[in-house]
């Protein structure tokens, strides 16, 4: 249907259903992406939260790593939450042995930035690009961005200055999980980029 972009959710591991439901509610035709041919059919890709090292391994097992890297390199809009942000980073500072990322964002990310004891927390987060009200942000064993390149737009920081939301060209990343709180504005921002690129 015209005006309904086909958007993929990488469905190897993680909170796939929450993203799929939110995107469908915003008017996207959602494709669960597990194979290269499914990736080729979408105009944007969400990489969900989960375990970044597991998603990395499964992407290689399923032959998805190189197609995703190529698609991102060619300008495919992508949005990563939590583990997805790690997978979009050019540099992972504390990955397990052999861990790789898809890359594309000129950032360095630390995976377990808040330590294993602090499994999760919630807070109100000011995101100037989104205006009011503040974002209710849920952090679950969340990463932080420790380095952002000169072309990376920092969208949100914690009170201590830690970077938790970034945008770099067609790529968007958050350390937190808007999809679990019914916060739609990041997904709307992502879909706007998808529509701009696909002409729909």
CA dist., res. 2 & res. 141, Å (int): 39
Q: What is the Cβ-side half-sphere exposure of residue 11, based on CA atoms within 13 angstroms?
A: 16
Q: Which of 19, 177, 183, 187 is catalytic?
A: 177
Q: What is the Cβ-side half-sphere exposure of residue 170, based on CA atoms within 13 angstroms?
A: 20
DSSP 8-state secondary structure symbol assigned to residue 128: G
Catalytic residue at 82? yes
Q: Which of 18, 19, 179, 183 is catalytic?
A: 179
Q: Which of 19, 82, 168, 187 is catalytic?
A: 82
CA dist., res. 126 & res. 56, Å (int): 31
Backbone φ, ψ for residue 190 (5° rounding): -65, -45
Catalytic residue at 122? no
Q: Which of 107, 33, 111 is nearest to 76 (CA)?
A: 33
CA dist., res. 133 & res. 135, Å (int): 6
Catalytic residue at 183? no
Residues marked active site are found at: 82, 177, 179
């Amino acid at each position: 249907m015209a005006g309904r972009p086909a958007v993929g959710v990488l469905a190897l591991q993680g909170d796939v259903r929450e993203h799929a439901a939110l995107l469908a509610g915003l008017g996207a035709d959602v494709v669960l992406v597990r194979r290269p041919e499914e990736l080729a059919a979408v105009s944007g890709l969400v990489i969900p939260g989960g375990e970044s090292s597991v998603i990395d391994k499964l992407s290689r097992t399923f032959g998805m790593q190189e197609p995703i890297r190529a698609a991102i390199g060619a300008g495919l809009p992508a949005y990563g939450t939590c583990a997805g942000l790690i997978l979009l980073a050019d540099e992972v500072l504390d990955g397990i042995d052999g861990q790789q990322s898809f890359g594309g964002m000129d950032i360095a990310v630390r995976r377990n930035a808040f330590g294993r004891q602090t499994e999760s927390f919630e807070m109100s987060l000011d995101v100037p690009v989104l205006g009011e009200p503040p974002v209710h942000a849920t952090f679950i064993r969340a990463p932080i961005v420790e380095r952002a390149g000169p072309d990376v737009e920092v969208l949100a920081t914690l009170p201590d200055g830690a970077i938790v939301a970034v945008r770099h060209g067609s790529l968007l990343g958050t350390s937190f999980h808007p999809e679990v709180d019914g916060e739609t504005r990041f997904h709307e921002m992502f879909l706007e980029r998808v529509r701009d690129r696909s002409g729909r």
